[in-house]
Structure 1
Amino acid sequence: MRRIRAAVTGAVTLSLALTATGCGGGTADGSGGANSQPRTLTYWASNQGPSVEADKKVLQPELDKFEKETGIKVKLEVVPWSDLLARILTAATSGQGPDVLNIGNTWSASLQASGALLPWDAKNLAAIGGKDRFVDSALGSTGAAGQDPAAVPLYSMAYALYYNKKMFADAGITKPPATWDELNEDGKKLAKDGRSAIGVEGANLANNIHQVFVLGKQHGADFFTPDGKADFTSDGAVAAVKQYVDLMAADKLVAPGNAEYAQNQSLGDFAKGRTAMVLWQTPAQTFAAQGMSPDEWGVAPAPVPSGTPGQGTRVNSMVAGINMAVFANTRNRDGALKFVKFMTGDTEQKILNQAYGSVPPVKTAQADPAFSGPALAVIRDTLAGSAAALPQVPEESQFETVVGTAVKELFADAAAGRPVTTESVRAELGKAQQQMPKNQARTLP
Structure 2
Amino acid sequence: MPNGTDALRSMRVEADEFHRLHPNITVELRMLDWAAALTMISTAAGGGDAPDVTQLGTTWVGNLSKSGVLQPYTEAEIASFGGRAAFVPASWTSTKPVGSDTVNAVPWFVDVRALFYRTDVLRRLGLEPEKAFADWDSLERTLAAIKRDGKITPLGQPGKNDWNVVHNVTPFIWGAGGDLLAADGATPTLSTPEAFTGIDYYQRLMGNYNKRELMTKDTDAAMAAFAAGETAVLMQGPDAVSGFRADPNRAGLRAGWSTAPLPAGPRGRYTFLGGSDLAIFARSAHRAAALEWVRFLTGAESQERYAVRNAGIWPARLETVRATALDTDPIYRAFAEAQKSGRQYPALAAWGDIEAALTRDISTLWESVQATGAPMAEPELRALLRRADEDVRVAVRQAS
What's the TM-score, normalizing by structure 1?
A: 0.76
Tell me the CA shift for residue 126 of structure 1.
Answer: 5.2
Distance change >3 Å, CA 94–CA 412, structure 1 → 2: farther
Percent identity between matched residues is: 24
Aligned twin of 1:376: 332
Aligned twin of 2:388: 432
Distance change >3 Å, CA 143–CA 300, structure 1 → 2: same
Tell me the CA shift for residue 409 of structure 1.
Answer: 1.9
Q: How many residues align?
A: 385
Name the SS for the 1:101 alignment partner.
strand
Distance change >3 Å, CA 178–CA 440, structure 1 → 2: closer
Aligned twin of 2:218: 262
Unaligned runs of 5+ in 1: 1-44, 307-312
Tell me the CA shift for residue 257 of structure 1.
Answer: 2.0
Aligned twin of 1:197: 154
- The one-letter amino acid paired with 1:247 is L
Aligned twin of 1:64: 16
Aligned twin of 1:32: none
Aligned twin of 1:27: none
- Pair 1:111-2:68 in alignment: no
- Pair 1:244-2:244 in alignment: no
Tell me the CA shift for residue 206 of structure 1.
Answer: 5.1
Aligned twin of 1:101: 54
Distance 1:90 1:234 in 2: 38
Tell me the CA shift for residue 266 of structure 1.
Answer: 0.9
- Pair 1:161-2:118 in alignment: no
Task: Give per-residue Cα distances to partners, 1:208-263, cap 9 Å, x unaligned.
Answer: 222322111222212212222222222222332232222232x1x11222222234
Aligned twin of 2:344: 389
CA RMSD after TM alignment: 3.0
Distance 1:271 1:326 in 2: 40
Aligned twin of 2:139: 183
Distance 2:255 2:290 in 1: 41
Distance 1:323 1:113 in 2: 16
Confirm or deny: 8 A CA contact 1:157 1:379 kept in the other structure.
no
Aligned twin of 2:189: 231
- Pair 1:367-2:310 in alignment: no
Distance 1:370 1:61 in 2: 23
Name the SS for the 1:286 alignment partner.
helix
- The one-letter amino acid paired with 2:96 is G
Aligned twin of 1:34: none
Distance 2:232 2:42 in 1: 37
Distance 1:222 1:121 in 2: 31
- Pair 1:399-2:357 in alignment: no
Confirm or deny: 8 A CA contact 2:354 2:396 kept in the other structure.
no
What's the TM-score, normalizing by structure 2?
A: 0.84
Confirm or deny: 8 A CA contact 2:157 2:206 kept in the other structure.
no
Aligned twin of 1:334: 288
Confirm or deny: 8 A CA contact 1:245 1:407 kept in the other structure.
no
Task: Give per-residue Cα distances to partners, 1:118-175, cap 9 Å, x unaligned.
Answer: 2222354356455454343322332235322121111134211111222333444342
Which sits farther off after the overlay, 64-73 or 121-130?
A: 121-130
Distance 1:87 1:171 in 2: 51
Unaligned runs of 5+ in 2: none
Distance 2:219 2:35 in 1: 8
